[in-house]
Structure 1
Amino acid sequence: MDSAASEKSIIALDRWLQSPAGAYVRAWEQACLDELTVDIFGFNAVQIGVPQIDALAANRMPNKWQAATRTSTADELVYAATGKQIAVALDFADLPFASQSLDLVVLPHVLEFAAEPHQVLREVERVLIPEGQVIICGFNPASLWGVRQGMGRITSSDYLPAAGEFISMPRLKDWLKLLNLGVTRSHFGCYAPPFRTAQWLNRFAFVEGAGQRWWPYLGAVYMVHAIKRVKGMRIIGPAWNKKTSKAPQAVPAANRNEHYK
């Protein structure tokens, strides 16, 4: 998938997110992101893609940006109205940020629609400071929605955007591990069957709690929270924990013998 195809697929995702199923996903992801980001501190945070979700709404960092593959006059007006700063990344595989300059990066459904998902992750690792954090949202292929999507490709009746290459959570964790991005938390949500209407999705709202309890790994959407680990770094305690006075040292036996002589 080249860059042009990648941008078209992201446009298709933008349109899908306006559907009833897309609204269902956006509501769950917004609530989960608010919970995850509210206690992440630092100075600089970036959300890449999916402007329909304000992934940094609950975060309190002083500098927060939205990065996207493209902008339009309408988008600029929306962000200007909300007071959000805008940063435009024309290519997610080559982020326009300095190395080790960001405390938090959020990737809502970027990897599965990117031309080079591995390169996107490498870029994220590059721009994160040591102990910087990344949050990734994705569609779960091991879910009812994933099964429905597989059947739809056979019958030419896709449920999710057709161009997406959905990544399983174990596979994503392996990619993160190779980049020393250690996963700390993971979440699954959206357990309703793959209906197209809001009426039927609402009727099955009761399965959300049941799914969390009985089949937690089968949610249609997952969220992964990881931290950039740097080998050789360790937290040093405050200086006042060290003892200022040293205990008297014992005199070696050989020295004592020489003294008495």
Structure 2
Amino acid sequence: MMLTFEPIWPKAKSSSQKRDYPSRQAFCAWLEKPLGRRLLKTERAELERILPGLFGYHLVQLGAVRKGTDLLSSSRIWHQVVLETGTWSEAQPPSLLSRADTLPFASATVDGMVLPHVLEYEANPHQVLREVQRVLVPYGTLVVLGFNPWSLWGLWRLFLWRWGQVPWCGRFYSLTRLRDWLALLGFETVELRYFLFRPPLQHPRLMRRLRFLEGVGQRWWPFLAGGYLVVAKKQVMRLNPVDPLWRKEEGLEIPGLAEPTARERIRD
């Protein structure tokens, strides 16, 4: 089974246009910082528990991350594609670029999709999920990595989002809202994982001292984690045909009609 696609090349926005959401380039630049590298290390470890159980022909990661970091390395699926979703400099365009809300794949051709913090930086996350639902094969797998607004990371965002700093300028969606969106599109959530219980501090020594919060948070307040991973399966609605009623009797019995009676020949 071949995966065919035609890349869609969005043009970079001019500086005069107002940008409501930061580009993927800004998010990838933040991933170079100590806190971003710690986030990628944690999420890669979480993906290593999920991806080996996925099977199929094609696995797509929507949205690149830090250069030199391969989030799909633990997967057994041989054909892996990473699509960048942001604008780029014409002098150095990426190898594969696409809009997140208009994926360049035919319907029902992709076995698995991984979205590492894509919805937070898209103006229309509903359309992104609709496109993912379209390109996934029946019972295909979707893996979403996101930030939890009801956490210490969400608290940091309340104070920093207005300054336009990444990642706080993105929109954090709660697990309840995300699962509602997925259910409306016919996905069934099969697994949830929580991580990042420490505050988002840039000091490595202090973060090491607060390492105990990860174990305590997993046990006592998992819903207050700074990050989450959602695994969902695309379900297919089936029409249940009416099975024919096979009867042992040779004749056809129609309810509501009088049963035939034997007639005797009248002789004169």
TM-score interval, smaller chain = 0.7 to 0.9
Look up the match of 1:61: 77
1:1-261 equivalences in 2 (<5 Å)? 4=13, 5=19, 8-52=22-66, 53-69=69-85, 88-153=96-161, 156=163, 158=165, 160-232=166-238
Superposed CA deviations along residues 197-240 of structure 1, whole A, max 9, x for unmatched, are 22211221121111100111111111110000001179xxxxxx
Q: Which runs of 4+ in 1 moved over 4 A?
A: 70-76, 249-252
3-state secondary structure, aligned to 1:61: coil
Say which SS state the counterpart of residue 21 (structure 1) adopts: helix
What is the TM-score when the length of structure 2 is the normalising length?
Answer: 0.77
Cα-Cα RMSD: 3.3
Distance in structure 1 (CA, Å) of the matches to 2:126 and 2:32: 28
CA contact (8 A) 2:101 2:131 kept: yes
Aligned AA (2:197): Y
Contact 1:6 / 1:113 at 8 angstroms: preserved in 2? no
Structure-1 separation of matches of 2:238 and 2:112: 22
Cα distance change, pair 194–103 in 1 and its aligned pair in 2 (3 A)? same
Once the two structures are TM-superposed, the CA of residue 51 in structure 1 deviates from its matched residue by 2.8
Q: Do the aligned partners of residues 157 and 98 (structure 1) sit closer, same or farther apart at CA in structure 2, a change above 3 Å counting? A: closer
Asked if the contact 2:144/2:229 (under 8 Å) is kept, the reply is: yes
Larger helix proportion, structure 1 or 2? 1
- The CA distance in 1 between the partners of 2:128 and 2:34, in whole Å, is 29
Tell me, in whole angstroms, the C-alpha distance in 2 between the residues paired with 1:250 and 1:93: 58
In 1, Cα distance between the equivalents of 2:214 and 2:41? 13
Identity of aligned residues (%): 37
Question: How big is the shift at 1:149?
Answer: 1.2
Distance 1:75 1:27 in 2: 26
CA distance in 2, matches of 1:6, 1:135: 26
Unaligned runs of 5+ in 1: 77-85, 235-248, 253-257
Q: Residues 118-141 of structure 1, C-alpha deviation per residue, up to 9 Å, x if partnerless?
A: 111010000000000100001110
Larger Rg computed on CA atoms: 2
Shift of 1:157: 8.5
How many Å separate the matches in 1 of 2:191 and 2:78?
A: 25
Distance 1:195 1:225 in 2: 28
Query: What's the counterpart of residue 81 of structure 1?
Result: none
Question: For the Cα contact (< 8 Å) 2:22–2:121, is it kept in 1?
Answer: no
Q: 1:7 to 1:168 in 2, by over 3 A?
A: closer
TM-score (norm 1): 0.79
Q: In the alignment, residue 221 of structure 1 is paired with which amino acid?
A: G
